[in-house]
Amino acid sequence: MANISWMEKLKQRWKLGSIYQVIIVLVVFACTGFTVLFIKKPILGFLAGENGNTTFASVLYYIFILPLYNVILLAYGFLLGQFTFFWEFEKRSVGRIISAFRKTKR
């Protein structure tokens, strides 16, 4: 059995055409994560307001960050030429979230 590199495994799992695309996808995830980290403090400051209710602001932040993360992910994917991959990725992710809420009771 041949040793397959982790990059090759990602290429196969994500059904990408080249290692270059894998690198771009990883860069998009990294940029998105950094951007969310960068905007966290200003968003929390805005949500906490003057009274500084950070607990309430944190709850609101986590509610708002999921859709914002997805939009940022699609934007970086578009800018780096991988929009189709990330659009399909988002559809699968949203589908999983919706199916978790649609579980039928037995």
Query: What would the mean pLDDT of 57-75 be, rounded to a whole number?
Result: 91
**Predicted pLDDT of residue 51:** 74
User: Cα(3)–Cα(33) distance, rounded to whole angstroms?
Assistant: 30
Residue 93 or residue 104, greater confidence: 93
Q: Over the stretch 4-61, which tens digit does the pLDDT of each residue have?
A: 899 999 999 999 999 999 999 999 999 999 999 999 888 888 888 777 777 888 888 8
Give residues with Cβ within 8 angstroms of 36, minimum separation 6: 65, 68, 69, 72
Tell me the whole-structure pTM to 2 decimals.
0.83
Query: What would the mean pLDDT of 82-95 be, rounded to a whole number?
Result: 92
User: Cα(39)–Cα(76) distance, rounded to whole angstroms?
Assistant: 15
**Predicted pLDDT of residue 70:** 94
**Predicted pLDDT of residue 95:** 86
